[in-house]
Chain A
Amino acid sequence: MRKLMLAAASLALMTGLAQAAPADDKRKVSNPTAVVQSITADDIAGILREIGGADVSISDVGGENGEKSEKVVSFNDGGVPFSIAITLCEKVDPGKCYAFAQLMMLEDKGYSYATLNTLNVDTVTLTLFKNEKEAYVGLARIEIVDGGVTRERLANAITWYVVEVHDALKKLTQQVVAGVSADGKTKALALDAAAPRPVKPGPEAITQMTNALERLADKRPLKKLNTK
């Protein structure tokens, strides 16, 4: 138990939670105990506005070549752009969506797999990965609302994600990185002093996120259990 308490205290310190101000009434979500069984982009945008997300907007991403487009809610927190793609739609009930994928991307400054592996356990809600081809690192979390969660749980889930992304960015800023420069020469091993630059997710990255859950659901009970 002592280990757990230490770990929890350590995480709280790392994320600055120990100094967190008491909850601001303005940032409380309305109807906190209302149960949400499915979501829309408007629902997520509404919650974000209530809890203090800045520059909240909804857009359609993708949809080229006859493929379905994704509803994506974008917002900003502390200068960092975040995206939330609404997913697991249509598969079950037309017009209803049962999950959302949160995604923040940043330039890959040569972070090692070991660094990302460590951050995957240093964080509670984030899944970190790198895309070698596109040279970015993704920080993602998929939340399911299927079966029901309260509005306040949803708001808390988004907030946890955002706070952990900020914490991960801080840790990545202090990582030792090395790599190969454009001219093919090896770059020196150095502590990466500059904060990694956020990258706006393109349609491909969004689709990859949303397809991931749909693929998983294809193979598992979620599809079946929602069958009318």
Chain B
Amino acid sequence: MRKLMLAAGMALAMSGAAPAALAQELSSTPMTHFTATNVSALLTKIGAQNVTSSKDADGITTIVFEVAGTKYRGMLLVCKTEPNCLGLLLGVPVFSDGGTISSEVVNSFNGGAPFGKAYRAKDGTAVVLFRYVISDYGILEGNVASNIANFTGMPDAFKRHLASQTIASNQVGNPATVNLTTAKPAAAAAAETKAAVAAKAPAAVGLKLPAGSEHADLTSYLESFAKDPGYKISK
């Protein structure tokens, strides 16, 4: 019953639709993989709209869905045995018609609400908000739903954060002022660093991931997210 209320409550909150039509029970069996089918079905179940999926030339499946008029993407990554994937990259680009978004704003947002991350793309003309969800060893539909629901709260949170900032977008206050006249020659500095790193190799890590654990490098995907229409912040 609790699950039923969770699903209905979430769906209602996400879409504003009538609860009776959305009162579907979430599965209590842990899912160990994400697929286009199970993620799309869950999104529909919890009230996301216009859910579609497609595969690109590299074989990456992307699920596009809308919540309150904003388009989000869920990309399925680390698919060792198609169509089963271990990672779900949720992303949404944010644009401001106030111009570029400063590094300070992105940084302070990450510090204040690290539920996901904000990535400054395209020289600040876009910020991609994203969160990576891992299914390894079992995650219930309800948990994926909570991850998605909270993620869809990030654009509004970013908008509020941006509105609260008074810092100009010209990187005022960046302490990384460079004095090139006293900088060491690159080769000397590099050699020094190499020696120091070798001498200060990180201590052995106690906690270990099982052999074969892997998740993807996200850079290229996030830059591609920034090309999509997303969440617009008007002045």
* Interface: B20 (CB within 8 A): no
**Cα of A2 to Cα of B59 in the assembled complex, Å:** 9
Which residues in chain A, 1-52, are within 8 Å of chain B measured between CB atoms? 1-4, 7-12, 16-17, 20-24, 27, 32-33, 35, 51-52
B154 to chain A: closest residue by CB: A216
Interface flags for A77-114 (1: CB within 8 Å of B; 0: not) read: 11110000000000000000000010000000011111
Q: With A and B bound together, what is the CA distance between A217 and B150 in angstroms?
A: 7
Residues of A within 8 A of B24 (CB): none
What separation, in Å, do the CA atoms of A227 and B124 have in the docked complex? 39
- Looking at A57-65, A66-74, A141-149, the stretch in contact with chain B turns out to be A141-149
The range of chain A's interface size is 35 or more
**Smallest Cβ distance from A96 to chain B, in angstroms?**
12
* CA–CA, A89 and B6, complex, Å: 17
A residues contacting B by CB (< 8 A) are 1-4, 7-12, 16-17, 20-24, 27, 32-33, 35, 51-54, 77-80, 101, 110-114, 116-117, 120-122, 124-125, 127-132, 138, 140-142, 144-150, 152-153, 155-160, 162-163, 166, 169-170, 173-174, 177-180, 186-195, 208-209, 212-213, 215-217, 219-222, 224-228
Which single member of B106, B176, B192, B219 contacts A112 (CB below 8 Å)?
Answer: B176
Tell whether A79 pairs with B157 under 8 Å between CB atoms, given A20-B210, A122-B219, A221-B10: no
Chain A residues contacting B216 (CB-CB under 8 Å) are 4, 7-8, 11, 124
**CA–CA, A137 and B28, complex, Å:** 39
Q: Judging by beta carbons under 8 Å apart, are A23 and B210 in contact?
A: yes
Q: A23-B210, A117-B119, A217-B150 are in contact. List 15 more A-B contacts (CB 8 A).
A: A11-B216, A11-B217, A35-B140, A52-B207, A113-B174, A117-B103, A130-B111, A144-B147, A169-B202, A186-B177, A193-B197, A212-B115, A217-B153, A221-B12, A222-B146
The reply to whether A78 and B203 contact each other, CB–CB distance below 8 Å, is: yes
- 4 smallest CB-CB distances across A and B, nearest first, come from A147-B142, A193-B196, A220-B153, A148-B140
In the complex, the answer to whether A113 meets B204 with C-beta atoms within 8 Å is: no
User: What 0/1 readout, one digit per residue, does chain B (159-177) give for beta carbons within 8 Å of chain A?
Assistant: 0000000000001011111
B108 with A150: CB separation less than 8 A: no
Closest B residue by C-beta to A113: B103
Q: Hey, which chain A residues are within 8 Å of B209, CB to CB?
A: 17, 20, 156, 159-160, 163
| A187→B179 contact, CB < 8 A | yes
User: What does DSSP make chain A's interface, helix, strand, loop or mixed?
Assistant: mixed
Q: Is the CB of B189 within 8 A of A177?
A: no
- Give A4's nearest chain B residue, CB to CB: B216
A219 touches B174 (CB 8 A): no
Which residues on the B side are within 8 Å of A116 (C-beta)?
Answer: 107, 110
Cα separation A205 to B232 with both chains bound (whole Å): 31
Q: Does B208 contact A (CB under 8 A)?
A: yes
Assess whether B149 is in contact with A220, with CB atoms less than 8 Å apart: yes
Residue of B with least CB distance to A147:
B142
Instruction: Pick from B14, B111, B157 the residue with the most CB of A within 10 Å.
Output: B111
| Bound form: Cα–Cα A101–B114 in Å | 9
A-B contact pairs, 27 of them (CB 8 A): A3-B58, A11-B217, A22-B210, A23-B211, A24-B208, A27-B208, A111-B176, A116-B107, A117-B119, A124-B218, A129-B107, A129-B110, A148-B139, A152-B137, A153-B30, A157-B134, A159-B208, A160-B134, A163-B208, A186-B178, A190-B183, A193-B197, A208-B112, A216-B153, A216-B157, A222-B146, A226-B6
Contact A132 B214 (CB under 8 A): no
Chain A residue contacts of B189, Cβ below 8 A: 190-191
* Residue numbers in A under 8 Å from B7 (CB-CB): 225
Q: Residue A17 contacts which of B30, B59, B175, B213 (CB distance < 8 angstroms)?
A: B213
Q: Which residues of A contact B114 (CB under 8 A)?
A: 101, 127, 129, 138, 140-142, 209, 212
B35-51 contacts to A, CB under 8 A, are none
For the complex, give the distance between the alpha carbons of A128 and B136 in Å: 23
Given A120-B110, A193-B193, verify A32-B137 contact (CB < 8 Å).
yes
Cβ–Cβ < 8 Å partners of A173 in chain B = 197, 200
CB-nearest residue of chain B to A221: B13
